[in-house]
Amino acid sequence: MKAAVIGAGAIGGYFAAMLADAGHDVTLCVRTPFETLTIDDGGATRDVGATIVADPGDMPADAGPVDLIVVATKAQDTASARPWLEALSGPETLVLIAQNGVDHADRLAGFGLAGTVIASIVYVAAERVGPGRIVHHYSSRLIVPDDAPGRQVARFFEGSALAVEIEPEFLTAAWRKLLANVVANPVTALTLRRMDVFTDEAVQELGRGLLAEAIAAGRASGAKLGDDEVDRILTISAGANSGSGSSMLYDRLAGQPLEHEYLTGAVVRAGERHGVPTPLNKAVLALLGAVDRSPVERP
């Protein structure tokens, strides 16, 4: 079958490799062209059999519509996927959104797509170390809703190393991942510190406050979040490799756009919809907006 992946970052490159391993004809849609996609998995580096295209206008006449499109851009770059989606999708196309956050479908709502949009939760620790060069560190999980389109997506990855989980409580699972993101990402990005920052008791208290608000907003949105979520996430954060960081920290250090509107912003918007106060998250959102794309000056 034919598949396309939009975005050649760590997640996009990894998904392209998994689809190729599953035996599909894969097109990788990129901004800047490169010759070959390679993946290093467990120390073994191999080339990935994918066609790399940098302009929707350069697609072969018989390229679309494809059976599956994976949107693997950062959430804030979703608009850049539109020309590719228009070129590659049709009424039978499945469009899998492999991005952070809980409002996946809303991001494509104005695109007028004829295909079926599927939200997902990605747990893949991979790194883009150069153009077309992906290193997979650990974890290879994709969570999709327990419905017919979700099950169709699972079949696409059969024969690859990506474990696809069908989740009946998808909304809850999405909010559980968001909870971790609204603490580790903002705190490391604003302090310019790595995960060792969570050994500070005052930072842990801030984390508790951010999580309490997010849990209340998530519950009001229909997520079934337990009372143990705060301790669970803070324990994970404090126990993480002290030298590791977060994607938002790395983006800030690189002067790249931040994903705050789709992480902390998702909590604030959910609170506003349901009348749940989120003052700490609103303050953090304002600070992240102030430093977004600003250069980091070192003394």
The Cα 95–Cα 66 span in angstroms is 10
| CATH numeric code, 2-167 | 3.40.50.720
Q: How do residues 138-189 score in pLDDT, each as one tens digit?
A: 889 999 999 999 999 999 999 999 999 999 999 999 999 999 899 999 999 9
CB 27 within 8 A of CB 3: yes
pLDDT reported for residue 133: 96
The residue among 10, 47, 52, 46 whose CA lies nearest residue 27 is 52
The residue among 32, 38, 34, 31 whose CA lies nearest residue 14 is 38
Question: Look-up: residue for tokens 């995960």?
Answer: 195
Domains 2-167 and 170-291 share a fold: no
Q: Reduce the DSSP state of residue 259 to 3 states and report it.
A: coil
Identity of the residue numbered 274: H
Q: How do residues 236-291 score in pLDDT, each as one tens digit?
A: 888 777 777 888 998 898 888 999 999 999 999 999 999 999 999 999 999 999 99
pLDDT reported for residue 32: 92
Q: Is 170-291 CATH 3.40.190.10?
A: no
Question: Look-up: residue for tokens 């017919």?
Answer: 148
Q: Reduce the DSSP state of residue 241 to 3 states and report it.
A: coil
Residue tagged active-site, from 74, 177, 224, 282: 177
The Cα 40–Cα 167 span in angstroms is 29
Q: How do residues 21-65 score in pLDDT, each as one tens digit?
A: 999 999 999 999 999 999 999 889 999 999 999 999 888 778 879
**φ, ψ for residue 155 (rounded to 5)?**
-65, -30
Confidence of residue 298 (pLDDT cuts 50, 70, 90): low
- pTM of structure: 0.90
The Cα 261–Cα 285 span in angstroms is 7
Specify whether 74 is catalytic.
no
Parse the chain into domains and list their residue ranges: 2-167, 170-291
